[in-house]
Amino acid sequence: MTYCIKSDCPSPKNPSTARQCLACGADLLLRDRYRVSGALGKGGFGTTFLAHDEGLPGCPPCVIKQLHPTAESPHVMQMARDLFAREAKILGKIGNHPQLPRLLDYFEAGTDFFLVQEYIHGATLQKEVKTRGAFSEAGTKQFLSEVLPVMQYIHRNQVIHRDIKPANLIRRDADKRLVLIDFGAVKDKVNPVKSTEESGHTALTAYAVGTPGYAPPEQMAMRPVYASDIYAIGVTCLYLLTAKSPKEMSYDPQSGEILWQQHVKVSDHFAGVLSKMLEISVRHRYSSADAILRDLDLEPYLNSLAQNMAIPTTVPKDVEPSSQPLFNSDDTAAVLGLDDSQEGVSPSARMAAAIRARRERRQHTKPSPVSPRRPSGNLLSSSSSQSGPFSGNGKKITPEALHNAYRRGHRDFSMQPLARLNLQRMALSGASFAGAQLAGCNLQGADLTNVNLSKADLRQCNFKNAKLPNAYLGEANVENCDLRGANLARCNFTGANLKGANLCGADLTGAKLTDRQLTEAKTNWNTIYPSGRRGLR
Nearest to 467 by CA among 497, 443, 431: 443
Q: What is the mean pLDDT of residues 481-489?
A: 94
CATH 1.10.3470 fits 385-537, yes or no: no
**Does 245 score more than 60 pLDDT?**
yes
**Does 384 score more than 80 pLDDT?**
no
Q: What are phi and psi of 115, to 5 degrees?
A: -115, 130
pLDDT at 439: 94
Nearest to 402 by CA among 379, 418, 386, 419: 418
Beta carbons of 332 and 352 less than 8 angstroms apart: no
The mean of the pLDDT values for the chain is 78
Report which DSSP code applies to 362: H
SS (H, E, C) 421-457: CECCCCECCCCECCCCECCCCECCCCECCCCECCCCE
- Domain residue extents for the chain: 2-118, 122-289, 297-365, 385-537
**Does 204 score more than 80 pLDDT?**
no
**Does 99 score more than 70 pLDDT?**
yes
Task: Report the distance separating Cα 334 and Cα 174, nearest Å.
Answer: 36
Instruction: Determine which of 44-58, 116-130, 207-221 has the lowest per-residue pLDDT on average.
Output: 207-221
pLDDT digits (tens, 9 = 90+) for 496-525: 999 999 998 899 999 999 989 998 999 888
Q: What is the mean pLDDT of residues 466-486?
A: 94
Residues 6+ apart with CB under 8 A from 392: none
**Does 387 score more than 50 pLDDT?**
no
Task: Report the distance separating Cα 40 and Cα 63, nearest Å.
Answer: 9
Residues 6+ apart with CB under 8 A from 209: 162, 163, 184, 185
| More confident: 355 or 285 | 285
Q: Does residue 163 carry a catalytic annotation?
A: yes
pLDDT at 396: 72
Task: Report the distance separating Cα 100 and Cα 227, nearest Å.
Answer: 20
Give bridge partners of residue 66 from the DSSP assignment. Answer: 47, 114
CATH 3.40.50.10610 fits 2-118, yes or no: no
Q: Both ends of the chain: CA-CA distance in Å? A: 39
pTM: 0.54
pLDDT at 82: 79
CATH 1.10.510.10 fits 122-289, yes or no: yes
Q: What are phi and psi of 288, to 5 degrees?
A: -150, 155
Q: What is the mean pLDDT of residues 97-126?
A: 88
Instruction: Determine which of 363-367, 398-402, 495-499 has the lowest per-residue pLDDT on average.
Output: 363-367
| More confident: 363 or 5 | 5
Strand pairing of 103-109 and 2-3?
A: unpaired
Nearest to 265 by CA among 139, 136, 144: 136
Q: Give me the amino acid identity at 48.
A: T
Share of the chain above pLDDT 70, in %: 75
Report which DSSP code applies to 352: H
Q: What are phi and psi of 190, to 5 degrees?
A: -110, 115
Given the residues 53, 112, 163, 447, select the one marked as catalytic.
163
pLDDT at 239: 96
Task: Report the distance separating Cα 155 and Cα 228, nearest Å.
Answer: 11
Instruction: State the chain's maximal CA–CA distance in angstroms.
Output: 95
If phi > 0 it is left, if psi is from -120 to 50 it is alpha, else beta; for residue 377 that is: left
